[in-house]
Amino acid sequence: MALGKYLFAGGLGFVLGGPIGAVVGVVLASIVPNVQELRPNSQKASVQGDFRIVLLMLFANVMKADGEVKKSELNVVKHFLVETFGEQGALEALQLLKEILKQDYSTAAIAQQASSHFNYSQRIELIHLLFMISAADKVISANELNTIQTAAQYLITANDFESIKAMFFKTETNSDWAYKVLGVEKNAPDEEVKKAYRKMAMKFHPDKVNTLGEEIKKQAEEKFKEIQKAYETIKKERNIA
């Protein structure tokens, strides 16, 4: 089975244009014999494939943020891809990722193009997944964080970026992270905290990324759990019923 026909072929709905297409066109031409024959089977398949290709391209930039791509990082990415897309999908994704890593392109340019193609919930999940892969080795370096933040500037609000970031920089002995996840001050009234939780739960609900496939929705559920955990942490601290 040719690369792309299982996982990424549906993504040629938009990636062959703009700065993303400039990179992906070269990459696919080198590993898919008949790239022009690949067309999305449906609009849903196109969105899923587009999302996954953009995700890999931003993964690549995060991995190169420290100046080199370490074998340990590739192993972390492989594990993440297997957990997310299964063995077959992971093999195809890794083949494409290794080719993308040979290319140079702007994080800002990719994010700008993606911002006009994906809805807001999909863009939130894109940033969440970048944090997940960066944190998979238990350390998010300053350079990796800067790369994610650069992408986020074009994709989501600063408040939502800080909310997702707080999910990965939390400590069990300090509840500050929980307030940052919900986007409220630590001295906010109980009613404001409750209102913030309901708002975030609705905004970050996994059902909002249904069109990206079950694999991505499963990862989105982890983000939703962090919002619930943040609220439970505050409730326990304040004895909120």
Q: What would the pLDDT profile of 148-167 be if each residue is shown by its tens digit?
A: 999 999 999 999 999 999 99
- CATH code for the structural domain at 157-241: 1.10.287.110
Higher pLDDT, 149 or 133: 149
Angle at 190 between CA 184 and CA 194, to 5 degrees: 70
**What amino acid occupies position 1?**
M
Residue 138, classed as helix, strand or coil, is coil
- Rounded Cα–Cα distance for residues 92 and 87 (Å): 9
Q: What pLDDT was estimated at residue 77? A: 82
Q: What is the tens place of the pLDDT at every residue in 96-126?
A: 888 888 888 899 999 999 998 899 999 999 9
Q: Convert 4-20 into a string of H (helix), E (strand) and C (coil).
A: CCCCCHHHHHCCCCHHH
Which one, of 216, 213, 50, lies nearest residue 129 by Cα?
216
CA distances from 65 to 62, 87, 114, 219, 233 (A): 5, 27, 20, 23, 33
Residue 1, classed as helix, strand or coil, is coil
Spans of all domains in the chain: 1-119+137-156, 157-241
Q: What is the mean pLDDT of residues 76-95?
A: 81
